[in-house]
Amino acid sequence: MRRADAPFNGKQFILNKNTGEIHDLDRESPLCCIDQIDPENIFACDTYAEAVLFSSVIGIQRNGCAHCMPERNRG
Ligand SMILES: [Zn+2]
């Protein structure tokens, strides 16, 4: 479920800057625990590629969420 308010701003993808986990809010599961993520650790964007690029820029190891992006999850 997308969220209109900051820091989500209605975007589809969320990168957790603390864990490197990327979520697809259009396929969100309760197990994603999106609402537990510190807003300071959230980078929101329109595409998966943007989330990947941003994780490289800030130098963190990314991983697709096992619950909403299993095809991108590397365990
Ligand atoms: Zn997720």
- Is 5 among the domain residues? no
CA 66 to ligand 1 center in whole angstroms: 7
Q: What's the mean pLDDT in 17-35?
A: 98
74: closest CA among 15, 18, 20?
Answer: 20
- Predicted local confidence at residue 75, as pLDDT: 84
Cβ 3 vs Cβ 10: under 8 Å: yes
Rounded distance from Cα 60 to ligand 1 centre (Å): 18
Which value, in Å, is the radius of gyration of the alpha carbons in the chain? 11
In a domain, 40, yes or no: yes
- The reported pTM is 0.96
Specify the number of domains making up the chain.
1
CA atoms in the 13 A half-sphere facing the CB of 70: 4
1 lies in some domain? no
User: What is the domain extent for residue 54?
Assistant: 13-72
Tell me, yes or no, whether 8 lies in a domain. no
49 Cα–ligand 1 center, Å: 16
Is residue 7 assigned to a domain? Answer: no
Domain presence at residue 56: yes
Over residues 20-35, mean pLDDT: 98
C-alpha separations of 21 from 16, 25, 74 in Å: 5, 12, 11
Has residue 22 been placed in a domain?
A: yes
- CA 65 to centroid of ligand 1, rounded, Å: 4
